[in-house]
Structure 1
Amino acid sequence: MIQNQLITQPLSGAGYLLKGAKLISHPKLRIFVLIPLIINILIFAAAFWFLFSSITQWIDSYMAALPAFLSWLNYLLWPILVLTILFAFTFIFSAVANLIAAPFNGLLAEKTEIILTNQPLDDPGLSDLIKDLPRIFKRELQKLAYFLPRMLFCGLLFFIPGFGQIVAPFIWFVFAGWMMAIQYADFPFDNHKIPFATMKQALRKRLGKNLTFGMLVSFFTTLPIINFIIMPIAVCGATAFWVDVYKQESLNSLTSPEISVND
């Protein structure tokens, strides 16, 4: 059983994902894990059926568009493109799943924080949760508004012959990690009404750990079976990260005039 205590030394990004995997088995969290899990299973089962029926055709079309002088890169780019399509595809469907499951993921983050800190939080009733749904979905749309222009830029790189086609998969992989870090860190931050811009600033201060966490989430999202359970694992892991590293400094930042929220 997970002990109700704070960790004195912060873990690595991989360590927090592992902690999330342990937390989802906690008896007090199982019911809150169940609904996001069901949503993820339904969405990803449909998504991967469509993806694996089309991916070979997409890659062949892309490789055919390569300039002749780069044809020698076919064997190198093929596996990279497979991974890139998987990351792009799974991120899109993760965004859809997170949008639908946002209220439940926020509740899971809240209950996880209570277990980790052994301190009660404001516990709104069902009517309060329903009233809060517009704000929750607005936050999810705010994340999408941040992600989509950057996703478009990364996508356009794939259509630039030569250099763009070579670097695009690597840029996408790193950016996908950043997107996943934001996606899941946002649940505990939003539970405490931390502004979105303030959250991004906080994550950038520990960019390496957050990228590691996010890239691992992005990778596991591409793996069958594991992608069904990665959402609640990531929520619990990001919440543990929040408790150990961000909670006190982020709550203090709400009253600090030095932190700008216009980013």
Structure 2
Amino acid sequence: MAELLRDNPLSRFARGFFYPFRGGRFLLKTPRLWQYVLIPFLINTLVFSLAVWLGLDFFDTRIESMIPSGEGWYWLLLYYLLWVVAVLLTAILVFFSFTVVGNLIASPFNEILSERTEALVTGRAVSVRFSLREAWRVLVDESRKMLLFVIGMGLLLLLNLIPGFGTLVYSILSFFLTVYFLVIEYTGYVFSRKGQGFSEQRRFLRGRRFLALGFGVGVLCLLAIPFLQFFAIPLGVVGATLLWCDCRQEAADREEIS
């Protein structure tokens, strides 16, 4: 009974959810890693500021001018309703552009941060030797992931054209697609620097669905919190590395018992 309470879908989800926050605590206690966080932080700040500026400009010059207005009370109600929708759409645009571009640019630095974190936790870190060719491979892989994510979100947006339940279905599916993307993105740094592909990563996550789901939701929450979103990428990288290290240790312990 005690084992069931410790290891069930809900507890695995909760454990995965707190890994990004554990990553933050780990970074606070490990000043030697701060140098690997500085560059992604500056990149994230620049990208987010640019995304906000472009989003506000897009809203002011394009979206707001398309919102109809009139003198009647119903026009006023419609105006404010559409204004809220436009603000939300602009915020979503800013959020996804920040997430996609920030992760893409910072990806080579994130692999180094993941390697140093694993070395501190386990005493050693097995990684493919860094080179310009390897850095280019990382950027190409990240670009493919981002492209697939953007295409997927674009296709899901079409669901909003379905009257009635289309928006609800879009909201649910886009949430799970975003969470899945975040899980693949941040755990991918561990597998990528070890020279392992998506098949090995998928095999690792397949038996840890609720743990991975909780982790993705945790990162998504960080991205939604003002100011913390600037640190979401390094916290996600460290959190995913801690998750991988813990799972490998648990697997090794089970092998010793058996």
RMSD: 3.4
The AA in structure 2 aligned to 1:174 is F
Q: Which residue of 1 aligns with 2:50?
A: 46
Instruction: Provide the rounded CA distance (Å) in 1 between the counterparts of 2:66 and 2:169.
Output: 18
CA distance in 2, matches of 1:59, 1:168: 24
Which consecutive residues of structure 2, in runs of 5 or more, have no partner in the other structure? 1-10, 70-79, 252-258
- Matched residue SS, 2:201: helix
**Map of 1:114-133 to 2, 5 A cutoff?**
114-122=119-127, 124=129, 128-133=130-135
Relative to total residues, which structure has the larger helix share, 1 or 2? 2
Give 1:51 deviation, angstroms.
Answer: 2.9
Bigger-Rg structure (1/2): 2
Per the normalisation by structure 1, the TM-score is 0.74
Residue 25 of structure 2 is matched in structure 1 by 22
How far apart are 1:239 and its partner, in Å? 0.6
Q: 1:166 to 1:188 in 2, by over 3 A?
A: same
Task: Give CA-to-partner distance per residue, 1:145-183, whole Å, 9 cap, x none.
Answer: 432332222111122222112321222122111111111
Aligned equivalents of 1:166, 1:59: Cα separation in 2: 24
Tell me, yes or no, if structure 1 residue 179 matches structure 2 residue 181: yes
Matches within 5 A, 1:81-96: 86-87=91-92, 89-96=94-101
Residues 105 and 232, structure 1, Cα contact 8 Å, conserved in 2? yes
Aligned identity (percent) is: 31
Report matched runs for 1:69-84 at 5 Å. Answer: none
Q: Is the 8 A contact 1:17 1:213 kept in 2?
A: yes
CA offset at residue 202 of structure 1?
2.3
Bigger shift: residues 82-91 or 223-232 = 82-91
2:81 & 2:208 partners in 1: Cα distance? 32
Partner of 1:224: 226
Give the aligned partner of residue 211 of structure 1: 213
3-state DSSP class of the match of 2:177? helix
Structure 1, unaligned stretches of length 5 or more? 1-8, 65-74, 250-263
Task: Work out which of the residue numbers 187, 190, 195 in structure 2 matches 1:188.
Answer: 190
AA at the equivalent of 2:34: R
When residues 123 and 198 of structure 1 are mapped into structure 2, their CA distance, relative to the original with a 3 A threshold, is closer
Structure 1 pair 234–87 and aligned structure 2 pair: CA distance change class (3 A): farther
Residue in structure 2 matched with residue 259 of structure 1 by the alignment: none
Q: 1:12 aligns with which of 12, 15, 29?
A: 15
What's the CA shift for 1:112? 0.6
Aligned residues: 231
Moved more, 236-245 or 23-32: 23-32
Candidates 112, 125, 147, aligned match of 1:107: 112
Contact 2:159 2:166 in 1 (8 A): yes
Cα 1:111–1:49, aligned 2, differ >3 Å: closer, same or farther?
A: same
Structure 2 counterpart of 1:194, one-letter code: Q
Displacement of 1:83 in angstroms is: 6.2
User: What is the CA–CA distance in structure 1 between the aligned matches of 2:168 and 2:189, rounded to whole Å?
Assistant: 35
- Are residues 199 and 220 of structure 1, via their aligned partners in 2, closer, same or farther at CA, if it must alter by over 3 Å? same
With normalisation by structure 2, the TM-score equals 0.75
2 CA distance for matches of 1:123 and 1:150?
Answer: 31
Is this contact kept in 1: 2:44–2:98, CA < 8 A?
A: no
